[in-house]
Amino acid sequence: MRVLVEILHPAHVHVFRHAIATWRERGDEVLVLSREKECANDLLAAYGIPFRSISRLPDNKAGLFLEMAIRDLRMLKASLRFKPDVLVGIMGVTIAQVGKVIRKPAIVFYDTENAGITNRVVYPLAHSVATPACYQGHVNGNHVTYPGYHELAYLHPDRFTPDPEVVRAGGLDPDSPYFILRFVSWGASHDIGEEGMTPAFMRKLVERLQREGRVLITSETELPSDLEELRFRLPVEQMHHFVAFASMLIGESATMASEAAVLGVPAVFISDTGRGYTDEEESRWQLVANFKRDQAEAAFDQVEAWLALDDRAGEFQRRRQAMLETCVDTTTWMVDYVDRVVAEQR
């Protein structure tokens, strides 16, 4: 089997890396075409995944359409040479179009409902759209679902074991409280119209959390000068070990909120556009608390409530276990589904 994998974002590396390893281990040929966005290419290199970078995320939103056209052309050329049996990706703008042209199935794995324009274009062109069962958007096309989350493709306990020695080597004590704050750049197509937390609220969070332990900030964008000293730099492939031993994660990234949740770490997600998966992680498992930007004070109150919770770590691990009992290892589901699609085409 010949599989073309599109990588548009660092999180996509994590979602597909175990599937890529499975395909290669059994003798399938895999072509990975990436986009230069943040640390996506660095992650591919760190995991030893051969790739070809075919576009770069522009510095402004107006350039997204030009980048899309460039990526379409380059992927089409690569596909005509590689001759894939199937194309897979997250979001799927390019693979859906190219798959249609070369008459091969493009499978889009997605979980972001608010990428409305993209979804309206992509979904009808794709062979199928695979989403978590909690996905709240309409899919105009062949929609398949699974009980789980993207983050369980790489953080399911069968795939990942947190290593306290990695945390110690990074200068932290995994047994002492520390908190992670995550801020994003708001440069993605589904971020148009979004804004982040105010510097005043950032400082309020930092001041409160520093009374409990150390504060680490990971940010895609510039920080106020007084917060820059808290920016935490580490090898990108090690981040999940640090999340796993954190006392809490607060931020603007739905992906990192879900990563914390599936690891049993309390997560406060602040964004004006929510996600079906973080909503479910709140309503079913109480692992995430979701807030809009104008609910900053309510978010702060939630942080206070969780700080006061007796046996917080034990309680959240129990909630995590309840979640794991109903969810699948997403990588296994993905590999099996791709196999079925390819078999149907033959």
Give me the domain span that covers residue 204.
Answer: 164-324
> Does position 194 have pLDDT exceeding 60, yes or no?
no
**Domain tally for the chain?**
2
Q: Say whether both 17 and 68 belong to one domain.
A: yes
- In angstroms, rounded to a whole number, what is the distance separating the alpha carbons of residues 323 and 327? 6
Over residues 166-183, mean pLDDT: 96
If you compute the radius of gyration of the chain from its CA atoms, what whole number of angstroms results? 20
Helices (H), the chain: 10-25, 40-46, 64-82, 93-102, 116-122, 164-169, 199-209, 225-228, 239-244, 254-262, 276-283, 296-307, 312-324, 330-345
> Does position 181 have pLDDT exceeding 80, yes or no?
yes
Q: Say whether both 17 and 137 belong to one domain.
A: yes
Say if CB 299 and CB 268 are below 8 A apart: yes
Q: Say whether both 251 and 220 belong to one domain.
A: yes
Buried b (16+ CB within 10 A) or exposed e, 215-240: bbbbbbeebeeebeebebebebbebb
Q: Say whether both 227 and 291 belong to one domain.
A: yes
Q: Say whether both 69 and 217 belong to one domain.
A: no
Q: Say whether both 282 and 178 belong to one domain.
A: yes
Q: Say whether both 88 and 183 belong to one domain.
A: no
In tens, the pLDDT along 81-96 reads 999 999 999 999 899 9
Q: Say whether both 117 and 70 belong to one domain.
A: yes
pLDDT-above-70 percentage for the chain: 97
> Does position 193 have pLDDT exceeding 80, yes or no?
no
Q: Say whether both 225 and 100 belong to one domain.
A: no
How confident is the prediction for the chain on average, in pLDDT? 93
- In angstroms, rounded to a whole number, what is the distance separating the alpha carbons of residues 248 and 257? 10
Q: Say whether both 129 and 208 belong to one domain.
A: no
Say if CB 120 and CB 298 are below 8 A apart: no
Q: Tokens for 86? A: 């199937």
- In angstroms, rounded to a whole number, what is the distance separating the alpha carbons of residues 140 and 121? 9
Say if CB 242 and CB 180 are below 8 A apart: yes
Q: At what angle do helices 64-82 and 93-102 cross, to 10 degrees?
A: 40
Q: Say whether both 270 and 151 belong to one domain.
A: no
In tens, the pLDDT along 307-317 reads 999 999 999 99
Which pLDDT score is estimated for 195? 53
pLDDT band, very low/low/confident/very high, at 323 (cuts 50, 70, 90) = very high
**CATH code where residue 252 lies:** 3.40.50.2000
Q: Say whether both 320 and 173 belong to one domain.
A: yes
Which pLDDT score is estimated for 198? 86
> Does position 215 have pLDDT exceeding 60, yes or no?
yes
Say if CB 93 and CB 119 are below 8 A apart: no
In tens, the pLDDT along 105-164 reads 999 999 998 877 778 888 999 999 999 999 999 999 999 999 999 999 999 999 999 999
Three-state DSSP at 110 gives coil
